[in-house]
Structure 1
Amino acid sequence: DVLRTFATTASGKEKDDFHFSEPTEEYLAARNAAPTATYGASYIAFSTTPPRDFRIRYTEPGSPASAQTGGQSNLERGSRILQINGIDLVNTASQTEINQLNAALFPATPGLTNSFTVEDADGANRTVSLTSVNLAPKPVNRTRIINTPSGDVGYILFNTFSPFASEQEIYNAMLQMQTAGVSDLVLDLRYNGGGLLAVASQLSYMIAGNARTQNRVFERLRFNAAAGNRNPVTGEVNNPIPFYSTGVGFTLADGTPLPALNLPRVFVLSTSGTCSASEAVVNGLRGAGVEVILIGDTTCGKPFGFYPTDNCGETYYTIQFQGVNNAGFGDYADGFIPNNSSASFGVRLPGCQVGDDLSHELGDESESLLAAALSYRGSLACPAVPSQATRAVASANENQSFGAGAPLRLPPPSTLEINRDMTMPPGR
C-alpha cells in the first residue's frame, strides 16, 4: 500500500482503485485458463440480503447451465434463483443454510449435483438439476451475423482479454466477420473487465485495418517524469505499443496475419464492468480516427496498467503507468459515457445510455443494448432514457453493514479479468 496513490478524479473517485495481490498459483491458473469446477453460469446479485435477488447473467457454451432439457436451456439469462436443494435462497436467515447455498452456488469440485428452482424472465417457475464440471470460461462467448436491409452486421460477445486463449478466439471470431463481409460490427464488452493489452491491440487492428493504423500507435505507456524515455519496469527504451497486425504467440502462431474489417466505426456495448483493456480498445481506436459509438452505460474508468510481479509466491499488481493513445489522450479515469447520459463526469462519445437487459438473451436483436445499436445505426437516434435502474451489488462493495440475514457473497473476479496486463510471450 506504500505504492498506492490516494489522488482522486474530477468526480472525487479514487484514481487507484485497482491495487491488488494474489497467490501466484492462482495467477498462473487464471493466466493459463485452467479449468475449475462450475456449472457454467455467471450470476448477478441485485440484493445479497433478504429478500435476495440472484439472477443469471449468461451461461458458458457447452456447459451444464446451457445444456437443454425439454428444448430449454437449464439456466437462461435473467432467470432468478429461488431455491437450491429446497432451501429458500430469497429469504433464509439461517447461517447453516446460507453456508449450504454458498457451497451449492460455487462448487469446490466437479461432480457435485444440486437442484435449482428458478423463475424465468417470463414468470414461469421450474426446477433443474445441475452437476458441476471442470470448465474454463470462453473469452468469446458467442457470435452472430445479423442480416439487415442495409448490410450484414456482426455481433461478438467478448467477455475477457485475460487468458492466453483470448488471442486465438478473437482471431477466429473476426475471421468469421471478415468472411461474412459485415458492414458494421457490434462489439459486446459489457462484462469485459480487461486482460492482455496485446490482444486489445490485435482486436483494434482487426477492426480498423492497415490503412487507419499505419504509422500510428495503439498506446504509449506514460510513467512518471523520472522515468525519462525508459520503461522503469523492464529497463528498456519505452517504445509504444503498435497496432499488432499478426499473432504474437499466446495461442495464435507468432506472425500469423490477422484478418481486418477496415471499418470506419464500431458499436461498443458497455456497462460499468467494461474496464481496462476494453477501454484501451475504445481509446486506441479513437486515436486512429475510428468512430466509437457507445451503447449502454459509463465504463469503469481505468486508463492505468501494471506488469504482474511475483515475490515469494505472491503476485502483485501495482499501478505503474497510464496508457495514452496515438493522439496523446488517456484522461478517462471517470470513464467513457454515452452522449445522452446525464452523468456530470466522463468522456462523452456518440451513442446512447441504455440499461442492461436481462429479459432477453445476449445476441438477441430484441435485447435492449443490441436493439439500440441496430436502431442507432440507421437513425442516429436513441431510445428514451429510463429512470435509474436498480444497480447490481458489486462484490467489492459488500463490506458494509447488513440488515437481517447474513449475505450471500459473490466471489470477486480474478484480478486478471479487471486489469490491463502487459504480459507478452517469451521472446516478444
Structure 2
Amino acid sequence: MPIARTALTATLAIALAACGGGDGGGTTAAPASSGGSSGGTTTQGGCSLAERQQFVLDVMNEWYLFPNLLDTTVDPANFNDVQSYIDALVAPARAQSRDKFFSFITSIEEENRLINSGSNAGFGIRLAYDTNANRVFILEAFENAPAFPAGMDRGSELLQIGSQTVSSLMASGGPGAVVDALGPTDPGVARQLSFTDASGATVTATITKAEFSLDPISDRYGVEILNDGTADVGYINLRTFIVQDAGPQLRDAFQQFQTQGIDKVILDLRYNGGGLVSVAELLGDLMAEGRQGQVFSNTVLRESKSSENETRLFAQQPEAIGVTKLAIIGRRGTASASELVTNSFIPFLGADLALIGENTSGKPVGQFGFDRTACDDRLRAVTFQTTNADDEGEYFTGLASVVDTTCRAEDDFDTPLGDAGEASISVALDFMAGRTCTPIITEQPQGSQTAQSVGGMRMMEPERPTAAQREMPGLF
C-alpha cells in the first residue's frame, strides 16, 4: 500500500508502522502509513484538552473498525484526560470484547524510542501477584537492566519496598499499592527492595531505575536446541514484537535451526503482548519455507476504508525453514502479533499446531497510529482485523477456541525459561513427540486490560501503563 495512497483530513497525521493483528505489523501499512516507527507530519491546532479530545473524535469517526460500536454521544467535558474519554467512546465495543483497552493515547517520542531501540526506563523485571496469598513474584529479569545484577531473576519473591512489606501493601491496597510504592518509571528513581534470590536467601538492596534497551530474545535462554526424545526441536522465547531488533535476532535463530536441519519449533510467547506486524510477518516467513506466495494474513478495515484492505503473502527468507510441527506456549498475556502468527499457521498445520499453557487474550484486531505531533500525542486506534488464509479471525475469546490441538500447562516460574524441565516447555515437548496431554478449557479471559494471568497469579499492571508496559505486560 503506497504511503501517499490516501489523503487525510487536515487534522490528521499518521505515523509509520502498524501495531496489531493482535497488536502488532508488516507491509500492513496504514492509509498513509500506520502507527509506530516514525512520526507523521506536524498537525495544526493547539493542545488544550478539548482540542485533543476533538482530534480523537475526528479520527475515531473516520477510521474506527467498529463504527456502530462507538458512543459519540458521550460529553467530552465530563472527562479530565484524553484516555478516559477514549474509554467512554469505545465502551460499547469493549462490552462485546472487541476493544479490550486496545485503543489508547500514548507518547510519540516514547513509542518511537521503544520501537527503534527498545529504550525504556525501570528496574527491568516482570512482576506478577498471587491473587490469594498477597505475594508478588518476578517472572523474568532483563539482563542489561538494574535489577538483574542486584540478584533479581525468575522465581524471586518481592518481600519489601522501603519500610513496607509487600504483604501489607497488598492487604491494604491490592496490586495498585505495590505499583505506587515502586514509584514512577523515571531514570534515577531509587527504592530499597528486599527479595529472595535464586538460592532462596533474602537480599536487601537499593536499586535505581535506569534507561535500558529491551532485548527481544534473551542471550541466556532465548534460543535453545531441545530434544523431545525422538528428534531435536528448536525453541525460541520471544519477549516482544515491538522492538525492531527482533527481526535480526529471529533471523539468527532460524539460521541455527536451518543449519541443524530442524523442522519442529516451540515458540514461547507466554508473556508476549504483541508489537509490530512487520516482525510477525517476518517470523511467519522464517517458518514457511516452501509456502512462498501463499496467504499469511488478510488485513480488513471498516467498509468505508475497504480500499485499504490488504493480503500479505509469505515471502522468501534465506534463513527460513519448513516447519512441520509448531507448539505455541501462550497465556492470557499472549496477545496481538503473537496471536496473529498462530492463527496464520492454522490452515497449514491443523492438528500439528498446538497451543500450550492456557487460553490467550483474544485480540484479532490491530491499530494504526495517528499523530498530533505538536502535543506528542499518538492515538492508537483499533482500525483493522486480521484473518488467515481461510478467512478465519474471530478469536475474540482467545486462541483456544480456534486451535485444533490444545494442551494445558502451568507456568513453572521456579524453573528457568528455556529449560526442558519447565512445565510448559515439557508439555510442548510431549506434543512434539506425539504424547497425549490435557486440553485447555476454553473460557472468556476476564479482568481489565488484556486480562494478563499466570496460573493462579495475575500480571502486575499500572492503571496508566507506559508504551513499553502496554506491549510487555508486567514490566517494571
Partner residue of 1:298 out of 351, 359, 366 = 359
Deviations 1:122-142 (A, max 9, x none): 754333453433211111132
Within the candidate set 366, 369, 384, 1:321 is matched to 384
SS in 2 for 1:32: helix
Per-residue CA deviation, residues 174-210 of structure 1 (Å, 9 max, x unaligned), is: 223223333421100111111111211111111121x
In structure 1, which of residues 259, 279, 296 is the aligned counterpart of residue 319 of structure 2?
A: 259
Kept in 2: contact 1:116–1:129 (CA 8 A): yes
Q: Gaps (5+ residues) in structure 2?
A: 1-56, 71-90, 453-459, 472-476
Asked if 1:82 is matched to 2:159, the reply is: yes
Query: 2:462 corresponds to which residue?
Result: 410
Contact 2:241 2:275 in 1 (8 A): yes
- The verdict on how the C-alpha distance between 1:286 and 1:129 changes in structure 2, with shifts beyond 3 A counting, is same
1:217 to 271, 279, 295: 295
Q: State the distance in 1 between where 2:432 and 2:109 align.
A: 45
* Equivalent of residue 108 in structure 2, options 6, 21, 24: 24
Distance 2:461 2:146 in 1: 22
Instruction: Note the 1:85-164 alignment, pairs <5 A.
Output: 85-92=162-169, 102=180, 104=182, 107-110=185-188, 113-119=190-196, 124-141=201-218, 142-164=222-244
Three-state SS of the structure 1 residue aligned to 2:382 is coil
CA contact (8 A) 2:288 2:314 kept: no
Q: Does 2:260 match 1:180?
A: yes
In structure 2, how many angstroms separate the alpha carbons of the residues matched to 1:226 and 1:101? 42
Q: String of CA shifts for 1:351-406, please: whole Å, max 9, x gaps.
A: 302232222121122211101111222243115989x9xx99866779xxxxxxxx
Given that residues 395 and 411 in structure 1 are in contact (C-alpha distance below 8 angstroms), is that contact kept between their aligned partners in structure 2? no
2:313 to 232, 238, 242: 242
Which residue of the partner structure matches residue 166 of structure 1? Answer: 246
- TM-score normalised per structure 1: 0.75
Name the CA distance, whole Å, in 1 between partners of 2:96 and 2:154: 32
Q: CA RMSD in A?
A: 3.6
- 2:273 and 2:207 mapped to 1: Cα distance? 28
CA contact (8 A) 1:218 1:242 kept: yes
* Cα distance in 2, alignment partners of residues 392 and 367 from structure 1: 26
Give the one of 16, 37, 47 matched to 2:121: 37
Q: 1:113 to 1:180 in 2, by over 3 A?
A: farther
Contact 2:263-2:324 within 8 A present in 1 as well: no
Residues 301 and 385 of structure 1: CA distance in aligned 2, closer, same or farther (over 3 Å): closer
Q: Which string of whole-angstrom CA distances, capped at 9 and with x for unpartnered residues, describes residues 45-65 of structure 1?
A: 335xx9742210101123333
User: Is 1:162–1:417's contact at 8 Å kept on the other side of the alignment?
Assistant: no
TM-score (norm 2): 0.68
Which gives a bigger RCO, structure 1 or 2 (Cα 8 Å, sep 6+)?
A: 2
Instruction: State the AA in 2 paired with 1:132.
Output: K
Q: How many residues align?
A: 369
Query: What amino acid maps onto 1:274 in structure 2?
Result: T
Residues 1:273 and 2:333 are matched in the alignment: yes
Q: Given that residues 190 and 269 in structure 1 are in contact (C-alpha distance below 8 angstroms), is that contact kept between their aligned partners in structure 2?
A: yes
User: Partner residue of 2:137?
Assistant: 55
- Describe the SS at the equivalent of 1:176: helix
**Maintained 8 Å contact 1:395/1:412:** no
| Letter aligned with residue 263 of structure 1 | V
1:196 maps to: 276
Q: Are the counterparts in 2 of residues 87 and 101 from structure 1 also a CA contact under 8 Å? A: no
Specify whether residues 289 and 409 from structure 1 end up closer, same or farther in structure 2 by C-alpha distance, changes over 3 A only: closer
Alpha-carbon distance in structure 2 between the residues aligned to 1:187 and 1:94: 39
Hey, what's the Cα distance between the residues in 2 that align with 1:173 and 1:126?
35
CA distance in 2, matches of 1:215, 1:101: 47
Which amino acid in the other structure matches residue 61 of structure 1? E
Gaps of 5+ in 1: 232-237, 246-256, 338-345, 399-407, 420-428
Q: Indicate if the aligned counterparts of 1:161 and 1:417 stay in contact, CA closer than 8 A.
A: no
| Counterparts in 2 of 1:369 and 1:105: CA distance versus 1, 3 Å | farther
Is the contact made by 2:229 and 2:433 (CA closer than 8 Å) also made in structure 1?
A: no
Pick the aligned partner of 1:333 from 393, 396, 416.
Answer: 396
Q: Percent identity?
A: 26
Alpha-carbon distance between aligned partners in 2 of 1:410 and 1:100, rounded to the nearest angstrom: 10
Amino acid at match of 2:153: E
Which is richer in helix? 2
Q: 2:333 touches 2:450 (CA, 8 Å); kept in 1? A: no
Q: Name the CA shift for 1:129/1:364 in 2 (closer, same or farther; >3 Å).
A: farther
Give the Cα separation in 1 of the matches to 2:416 and 2:378.
37
One-letter amino acid of the counterpart of residue 16, structure 1: D
